[in-house]
Structure 1
């Protein structure tokens, strides 16, 4: 249905004259007459009758008027839902407990006036497709796995280098350490069932293993972080890596230890991705907030894969 014609019909019904409707819509009276005629042909009814003072709604016009108003309200809501600045900023944070979630909570505290929609997508390809289609405005990722450069219309900038910590149960051989070097982890089993081949985080840990000779196992189903914590707490032979900014809660009886890793300190590089043509005003505010809050990158004594250090692009 032609919404211009419907809007013209409502304006003419309210004004009682085509001339006044034309003035309100900033079109000619002839254009009003043509739109009304086209709408009547589409509906196969007469919507108005002529009077000496203008026009009056026919019986069919009276029946159609409330539905026409609702059609226009629905159309206006539909436009507002996607118009930059009038719809929420949609951001992918991967998981609710990770560092990106904390970054977005900080942004929300600093800018409570900005409406947010937070989503959790899986791989970087899914996130990039969602950015390009307009499904989301931004995504936090480790950009980008070797051999898979970002499309040219996707911008990215590194916003956080998150240190990794070793998480152990109380009976683990390393549980009493105040800090650990990567060399001290050689020969110990690090269990990470959440690593999925082909993801950017799998590429990160593959490089970590290759460079420092670690043993990282991704065997078994991934039942989520709670099950991972239960297993690490109960199994002295297993430990796992955890981001320093990952928020976790476990039963007091677990006695888990979070131990900093050094020499060098492995850091996971979080970047924000967005489409270069995205004009949502809140996106610029988010990027400025992250830039102001971000610590320096590539600090002395830290390690990230070479592909991650070269990947930011603006």
Structure 2
């Protein structure tokens, strides 16, 4: 059993077709067929049922799917670790929600690189669902996000207290007339609906993270945003809180795998909290 065979099995399982799997792994259809046959011979089970429509995993194939994904993941991580220059003692895969990168995580990453030159970082910006899934699948070690999911093998700690507030770039206009829906996750959307009922439908939903604040300013609109991220805009008078409107608790968290080095994690969390706290300083 080799890595190419595992990749081929996973490609066929995802594509539902040996010919499509051949395209994905850059091999001939006959090579894909031969690899799957060899794998089935080694495992002594049939992994796929095939017909004119394509291929489907058998019960044994479905059982082998997650172990195969883990095998490939372990191989990729091993390759990354082995390829690290000698000056690095460990590597950390870190992810963050898009909204947190500009004002918090970019300076945080710079500080961590300066403080820990022995640590190699792989940094990713992604949506909360992607970050939660990457943590669950052990494809990420550390993530900063607003809507974490606690699972076995993970720890979660709040970075700072924050809330969603309604702000506007045109205080003289009723908020209902220029409201923009900004996506901060399904939990936040559900709570807003519970508090305010059906929100005005402007025909525009934004999932731009902190760039949504620039949109509000440019279009003189209003919308719900995290108060800490909006601090600079509020101080500059570009945005103004809408009075009498409810706010929602909406705090950022850091999640990490419990297998990580405790001293390194402690240092990372302290630095992140300092930058998060500095938004309101």
Q: TM-score, normalised by structure 1?
A: 0.46
Aligned 8 A contact 1:163 1:243 in 2: yes
Aligned match of 1:163:
163
Aligned match of 1:9:
none
Query: For each residue in 1:120-157, what CA deviation from the matched residue of structure 2 results, as whole angstroms up to 9, or x when unmatched?
Result: 12233x2233224443221122344xxxx532222211
**Matched ranges for 1:1-314 at <5 A:** 78-79=81-82, 81=84, 86-95=89-98, 98-99=99-100, 101-108=102-109, 110-111=111-112, 112-114=114-116, 115=119, 116-124=121-129, 126-144=130-148, 150-170=150-170, 172-173=172-173, 187=176, 190-192=179-181, 194-195=182-183, 201-213=185-197, 215=199, 217=201, 219-220=203-204, 222=206, 224=208, 229-230=214-215, 233-234=218-219, 238-246=221-229, 256-259=238-241, 265-279=247-261, 282-290=264-272
Shift of 1:202: 2.2
Q: Secondary structure at the match of 2:185?
A: helix
Shift of 1:94: 1.4
Aligned 8 A contact 2:165 2:246 in 1: no
User: When you count helix as a share of all residues, which structure comes out higher?
Assistant: 2
Query: For each residue in 1:81-137, what CA deviation from the matched residue of structure 2 results, as whole angstroms up to 9, or x when unmatched?
Result: 499x63443221111xx345533345346542335432112233x223322444322
Specify the structure having the higher radius of gyration (Cα).
1
Q: TM-score, normalised by structure 2?
A: 0.51
Aligned 8 A contact 1:170 1:233 in 2: no
Of structures 1 and 2, the one with the larger relative CO (CA 8 A, separation 6+) is 1
Query: For each residue in 1:236-273, what CA deviation from the matched residue of structure 2 results, as whole angstroms up to 9, or x when unmatched?
Result: xx4112223337999xxxx8423276776433111111
* Structure 1 portions without partners, runs of 5+: 1-74, 175-184, 296-314
Counterparts of 2:144 and 2:265 in 1: how far apart (Å)? 13
* Structure 2 portions without partners, runs of 5+: 1-77
Aligned 8 A contact 1:80 1:87 in 2: no
Number of positions where the alignment pairs a residue of Structure 1 with one of Structure 2:
191
